[in-house]
Structure 1
Amino acid sequence: MEDNNTNKRVAAPLLLDLAKSLSSELRLRILEALSEKPMSVGELTKMLGVAQPTISINVQMLEEVGLIETAQKLGRGKICSRTCDSLTLDLPMVPSESLKVKEIHMPVGMYTAFQIKAPCGLVNNEGTVGSVDEIATFYMPERAEANLIWFSEDGYVEYSFPYPVAVDQLPIRELRVSAELCSETFEYNEEWLSDITLSVNGHELGTFTSPGDFGKTKGHLTPVWWKGGTQYGLLTEWLVDETAAYINGERSAAVTVHELQLSPEKPIVVRFEVKPDARHRGGINLFGKHFGNVAQDIKLVFSR
C-alpha cells in the first residue's frame, strides 16, 4: 500500500474505468472519508448513513481501479485504505511524426508454451473447449478460439508476438502490454489474492497482485449461458520505456526497453506467470474480447 500524500499516475488506456469510478457522489464521499485514516465498511456505513451492501459495492468499484486497498482485520471485518492523495492523468494523444505506434492483438488461446496445474480450462463463444481440469485440453487446436482461459496455483502461459514490421528503422522507445485478468479459485472468491508477474523476453516488468477472483457481478461481455464462476477481470497494463517499467502507471522494475533486446529476427515472448515462490499463488484467469468487461484480447503496443 502506498503512503498518504502520494501521487498515482493513470495511463491513458485506464482513464475510462477511472472516470466511471469517480462519477458517483457516494464514491467521492468514501474517498473523502478515508483521507484521514483507514476505516472498516461498518464505520463507513455509520459515517455516511448508507446501507452496508451499497457501501460494499462502491468500495469494490474503487478497489478495482486501485484507488482503495482492503484487508481483513479480525474483529473489524474489511478495512479500507486510500492508496493516494492525487492523480496524474496520461491523456490519449494522436501519434505525431516523431512517435509511430503499432498495435498487435493476440487471442488468449494463441499461447505458444505453458506450464499449468488443474483446476484449469478454456472456454470459447459456444462453451467449454475439451474437458475441464484436463491439462491435455491445452494442447488442442481448438484452443485458438478460446475467450477465457484459467489455471490454479502457480504456472504460466507464454505468447510469441512478431516484431512490428515497418519501413522505418527507428528503435522501439516504449512497449505496453495490457490484458484483462484476475485470480483463479474454485467458482470465485472476491478476496483471493494472486501475484501475477509479466515478463518480456525473460525480463520481469513487475508483479501485479490481483485482489480477487470476481464472480458476484455478471461481466458486461460474458455470455448469458456462462453461469456462476469467474465473470470478469481487471484491465492491467505493463509499460516499459527507456527509463524503467511500470504497472498501471506505477514504477515496478528498473528494466528498460533496450534491455529486452527486441529484434526483427526473433519473436517477442510475453509470459503471464504466478511464480512457485510467489507469496500469493492464486492462479490466473485471462479474458479475451468476448468475455469479461473489456472488449480486447492481449494487446501489445509499440511506440517508436
Structure 2
Amino acid sequence: MELEVFAIKVLQLTMDEAIEISKVIGNEHRMNILKILSTGPHNVNELSEKLGLPFSTTAVNVKKLEDANLIITELVPGRGTQKVNSKNYDRIVIDLFTDAMDKEKNVITIDMPIGEYVDCQVQPSCGLVSETDYIGMQDDPRSFYEPGRREAQLLYFRHGFVEYRYPNRIPYGKKATEIEFSMEICSEAPYHKLDWPSDITLWINEVEIGTWTCPGDFGGQRGFNTPEWWTIYFTQYGLLKHWKVNQNGSFLDGVQISGVTVSDLNLHDKPFVSLRIGVKEDAFNAGGINLFGPNFGNYEQGIIMNLRHSE
C-alpha cells in the first residue's frame, strides 16, 4: 500500500513483502545509490562516477532497484535523450503484524473512532481536530459535545478523561479470557515538547487497570498520516501502546503493571465494555493526553479492542 503524506511518499509493506525488498536493498552499492538519489536525480554515468564503480556494475544495480519499484527511470531531453533515475519513495514502513488474529474465530475486534466517546470531562488546553479543520473552538470544553466530534482525528486535553463503550459481543455461554486495547497516544504540551511526562491511566468497566507515564508530546517531524495543513510545530504523532488483561494480570506492552485480571472486569454483566482513558486529578505528572485517529499520527487506527473468549 502506498501512502501520500505531505511531501513524503511512503512505501508500506507487510512482513512478506518486506522480505523481498530487503533482498534488494541488502547491498552496499544499492543502498549508496538510494542515498545519492535522495539528493536529486542522476543518470547512470553520474552514479558510476560518484560510486567509483564500473558503468556496467552500476547499471546492474540500478536495474535491480528499478525492478523493485524503489527508483524510477525517465527519458529526459537534453544533449540527446538520456535516462535519468530518481528515488520513488522517501520512507519504507514495515507493518510488524500478521493476519493470525483475523483467523481466530474466538476473537472479537472493534476499531473505535476516537470521536465516538460517550462521556468526557476535559479541561484546557483541549480541543478536537478533524482531517481538515478544528471542530468547535480550541480550549473550550463545550466543543467536546459538538455533533462533529465523530469526525475527530485528534483530540487532546490537559486534565480529565474520555470514555468509550464498545458493544459486548461475547457469545452467550462463552467466557472472556483476554481483553486488549491498542491506541496511539502521547502527552499534551503547548505546541510539542519531547520532555513532558504525563501519567495516563486506563479503566475497563470502571476498574483501574494501571498507569503509564508517557515521556513526552512528540513533534518536530511530521507524522506519516498527519495532514499538510496541521503545522509542524504542533503535536505530530504518538506511541502505539497495547494494554492487555488476562487471567494472569494486566500488562502494558508485555510488562505487568497490576494484578487486575480479566475476571475482575465483570465483562459478562453489561451489554457494553467501557473504556476510560484519563489523567487523574492527583497525578504526579499531569501532562495531559493526545489521542490519534487513523488520519493523524503514525498509525492507521482508532482505539482497537480485541476481546478473546473461550472456544
The 2-side partners of 1:303 and 1:109 are apart by: 25
DSSP 3-state at the match of 1:217 = coil
Check if 1:112 corresponds to 2:118: yes
Q: Deviation digits for residues 115-136 of structure 1, max 9, x if unmatched?
A: 1111110011111001111111
Q: TM-score with structure 1 length normalisation?
A: 0.67
How far apart, CA to CA, are the structure 1 residues paired with 2:283 and 2:204? 18
Over 3 Å counting, the alpha-carbon distance change for 1:211 and 1:98 in structure 2 is closer
One-letter code of the match for 1:151?
A: F
Which stretches in structure 1 are left out of the alignment for 5+ residues?
1-15, 24-89
Seen in structure 2, the aligned counterparts of structure 1 residues 132 and 98 have a Cα distance that, compared at 3 Å, is: closer
| CA distance, structure 2, for counterparts of residue 260 and residue 237 of structure 1 | 17
Give the deviation of 1:282 after TM superposition: 0.2
Q: How many residue pairs were aligned?
A: 217
Q: 1:265 Cα deviation (Å)?
A: 3.8
Answering whether residue 221 of structure 2 is matched by residue 217 of structure 1, we say yes
The percent identity for this pair of structures is 40
Matched, 1:123 2:129: yes
Aligned twin of 1:266: 271
Moved over 2 A (4+): 90-99, 263-266
Alignment of 1:114-263 (within 5 A): 114-152=120-158, 154-164=159-169, 166=171, 169-227=173-231, 228-263=233-268
CA contact (8 A) 1:240 1:246 kept: yes
Report the AA paired with residue 185 of structure 1.
A
CA distance in structure 2 between the partners assigned to 1:281 and 1:225 by the alignment: 29
Unmatched 5+ residue regions in structure 2?
A: 1-14, 23-95
Which structure has greater strand proportion?
2
SS in 2 for 1:116: strand
Say whether the 8 Å CA contact 1:182–1:234 is kept in structure 2.
yes
Deviation (angstroms), 1:216 = 1.3
Which structure has the larger Rg over C-alpha atoms?
2
Question: What corresponds to 1:293 in structure 2?
Answer: 298
Q: 1:163, 1:264 within 8 Å by CA — same for their partners in 2?
A: no
Distance 1:95 1:184 in 2: 32
CA contact 1:99–1:303 (8 Å) conserved in 2: no
Alignment-mate amino acid for residue 265 of structure 2 = L
Q: State whether residues 170 and 176 of structure 2, in contact with CA within 8 Å, keep that contact through their aligned partners in structure 1.
A: no
User: Cα distance 1:155–1:98, how it changes in 2: closer, same or farther (>3 A)?
Assistant: closer
The alpha carbon displacement at 1:266 in A equals 2.7
Separation (CA, whole Å) in 2 of partners of 1:290 and 1:97: 26
In 2, are the aligned partners of 1:237 and 1:248 still within 8 Å (CA)? yes
Correspondences of 1:81-96 after superposition (within 5 Å)? 94=100
Aligned-partner Cα distance in 2 for 1:233–1:155: 19
CA distance in 2, matches of 1:181, 1:99: 29
Cα distance, 1:254 vs structure 2:
0.4
Distance 2:132 2:149 in 1: 13
- Conserved 8 A contact 1:109-1:147: yes
TM-score, normalising length: structure 2 = 0.66
